[in-house]
Amino acid sequence: MENFFERVTRFWPAGRRDLHWHILPTPAEAAALAAPYQGITAPGLQNVPMDWMHCTLLHAIGLGRDAIDIDALLSDVRRATQDVEPFALTFDRPSVGTVGVEISGWPGKP
């Protein structure tokens, strides 16, 4: 079986800190997202635990927690999003990416 972490070290070297902003599903949403894929197995294919499911909203390469002012970032995000109405996040069909199965999502209709 291939080691995931060995595969990503060329573009995500050990020790590099990246800032990720994730949208996390509720337990019910995660179960609904996982349901169609239950029972799919193959050598080397591992299920992602439902509590690891996430949608990456932002991946700031090379920026760790110590490189930014978290309070200022949260304040800016609150100010920028306070008037945004709730919306449905629509997911595409899964595709095999370079480091895993990926499902792109966007607001509104695909």
Tell me which amino acid residue 77 is: V
Question: Binning pLDDT at 50, 70 and 90, where does residue 14 land?
Answer: confident
The DSSP code sequence of the chain is ---HHHHHTTTS-TT---EEEEE---HHHHHHHHGGGTT---TT--PPPGGG--EEEEEETT--GGGS-HHHHHHHHHHHHTTPPP-PEEE---EE-SSSEE--EEES--
Are 53 and 26 a contacting pair, CB within 8 Å?
Answer: no
Percent of the chain at pLDDT exceeding 70:
81
* CA angle, 24 then 45 then 34, to 5°: 35
pTM over 0.85: no
**19-35: average pLDDT:** 87
**43-70: average pLDDT:** 78
